[in-house]
Structure 1
Amino acid sequence: MSNPVSVRTLFVSDIHLGTRDCQAELLARLLRRVRPERLYLVGDIVDLIAMQKRAILPPAQQRLVARLLRLARSGCEIIYIPGNHDAAFRRLSGLKVHRVRIERRMVHETVDGRRLLISHGDEFDTHVRIAPWMLALGDGMHQFVLALNRWCNRGRRLFGMPYWSLAAALKRRSGAARRYVMQFEQAALHQAAREGLDGYVGGHIHNAGFRARDGVLYCNDGDWVEHCTALMENHHGGLQLIDWQGELIEREPPMASAPLPEQVELPMAGRAS
């Protein structure tokens, strides 16, 4: 195998170690292709909520954890920002565990001097109003779709086909999911603007992408359950979304001049994992 490509910073989130849906092998494959100087683990890395019901840590997930710890020992700066599924680790903020630094949130400065707020994103859940019955329905449908996703990709592997996210394809067709994402992005952009920062990086909603409004950049690095994507900063400060093979998905957009829209609260039909 060729030597890994050096990158300045890599952002990954929503790995959900401890669950059947964690795509640990694909993330390990990416980490063999790219070598970051700094790695942000942007929440829901370990799914402590799911592990209360049933803990699953197969060999592929154990190897991924070992690889991350080797990266830390070899000089890669790893910063772990816990999310809502691993919120118990927030009590360790400010500490280092096995050379992994744990923080509640961070401000990252890119090579070209931009300052980006980094958090998991669950703090923006309060901007979304969801009826209890819709919440329960959304959770049930999400688990059903993830189960379909597992079976779909087992079949694809039998025919030598690469990973493909059925769950992501179905989400793209959902108007309610698109409205949820729009409101989440809007809340994150407003928060970065209020703090006088140039942008925001997070995860939480399992929807990778960029948005730019009024000189503020929104970046979501995706997840390693459905989409298998990461956000990468190159040595010139450019930000790119890449997939599990290290292939480019999307570059950051130019800054838009349109002002941020006023925040509104919409009834939504789903929520983030």
Structure 2
Amino acid sequence: MSSEPTQRHFRAIFLSDIHLGTRGCQADMLLDFLKYHDAETIYLVGDIVDGWRLRRMWYWPQSHNDVVQKLMRKGRKGARIVYTPGNHDEFLRDFLGTHFGGIEVMEETIHETADGRRYLVIHGDRFDVVVRHARWLAFLGDWAYVTALNLNTGLNIMRRRLGLTYWSLSAWAKLKVKNAVNFIGKFEETLAGEAERQGVDGVICGHIHHAADHTEFGTHYINTGDWVESCTAVAEHHDGTFEIIRWAERAEQVPALATGEPRRAQAAA
């Protein structure tokens, strides 16, 4: 495999759960991804900026600003950019139907693929009963999640020193704890049901930080994953097929990306 990733162009790219404004955000990894990937349309499927965290403590390093500038630059070069807010950036729901620097803000939208299929694009938090009906529990869960990410950071520093690859403690726990697995399954089933109710062919969402692409519940369900743990995106090829891009795995194969050495220069690309 070449040490340099190839430039790729898609019909659409879907990104969610970047969580700019938090220490867990893998902004440098995302800048690498954006350097090598372009699309006619870029969907920002919620929780791009973490308003919950920023209200409690301001954290905005240059790399987070670089991500915003990189996305806006792609818009100026001709890409259509659509932003569907989530629960962490719910403040943008006060501006639905408006444009910010060429970025369209919508509660939800319909994406039509190259082969004519229609997909509901929505963050998905409206279908999370904890977020809707027990916000205090959602905030507590957010604190526990950040704590797990902090432990994960220290663990992976040691793993790198031992020559081992990246491993996500929080993602592992999410798939091992029975209640978490049940929640993921229920969330997927509910979103697939909403797509069926709206008479579309599938749904593309975020929110639960678990990338997926299946038809287990009778409707095509796609989740973009996140840029905190797994560094994943979903892309539509020009023939209408979808792909989950697992950029963290690619970075492990490219030493320059894994160490982060060229990223500051890449931000201006």
Total equivalences in the alignment: 247
Output aligned runs, 1:51-62, within 5 Å: 51-62=54-65
Rounded Cα–Cα distance in structure 2 between residues aligned with 1:233 and 1:121 = 20
- In the TM superposition, residue 155 of structure 1 has moved relative to its aligned partner by 3.1
Q: Which runs of 5+ in 2 are unaligned?
A: 251-269
Output the aligned Cα RMSD: 2.4
1:117-166 CA-partner distances (Å, limit 9, x unpaired): 01100010138999899767644432321111121233344456554322
Rounded Cα–Cα distance in structure 2 between residues aligned with 1:64 and 1:57 = 11
Tell whether the 8 Å contact from 1:33 to 1:246 is kept in structure 2 after alignment: no
Is 1:66 the equivalent of 2:69?
Answer: yes
1:204-263 CA-partner distances (Å, limit 9, x unpaired): 01111123146510100001111111111111100111112685xxxxxxxxxxxxxxxx
Output aligned runs, 1:188-207, within 5 Å: 188-207=191-210
Rounded Cα–Cα distance in structure 2 between residues aligned with 1:65 and 1:134 = 30
- In the TM superposition, residue 30 of structure 1 has moved relative to its aligned partner by 1.0
When the two structures are superposed, what TM-score results if normalisation uses the length of structure 2?
0.84
Output aligned runs, 1:77-88, within 5 Å: 77-88=80-91
* Residue 239 (structure 2) aligns with: 236
* 3-state SS of 1:19 partner: coil
Output aligned runs, 1:55-134, within 5 Å: 55-126=58-129
Tell whether the 8 Å contact from 2:131 to 2:138 is kept in structure 1 after alignment: no
Change beyond 3 A, Cα 1:183–1:231: same
* Residue 53 (structure 2) aligns with: 50
Output aligned runs, 1:1-40, within 5 Å: 4-40=7-43
Rounded Cα–Cα distance in structure 1 between residues aligned with 2:171 and 2:37 = 24
Change beyond 3 A, Cα 1:136–1:179: same
Tell whether the 8 Å contact from 1:193 to 1:216 is kept in structure 2 after alignment: yes
Tell whether the 8 Å contact from 2:235 to 2:245 is kept in structure 1 after alignment: yes
Change beyond 3 A, Cα 1:21–1:132: closer
* Residue 44 (structure 2) aligns with: 41
Q: Which runs of 5+ in 1 are unaligned?
A: 248-273
Return the letter of the residue paired with 1:34: H
Rounded Cα–Cα distance in structure 2 between residues aligned with 1:110 and 1:240 = 13
Tell whether the 8 Å contact from 1:30 to 1:246 is kept in structure 2 after alignment: no
Return the letter of the residue paired with 2:206: G
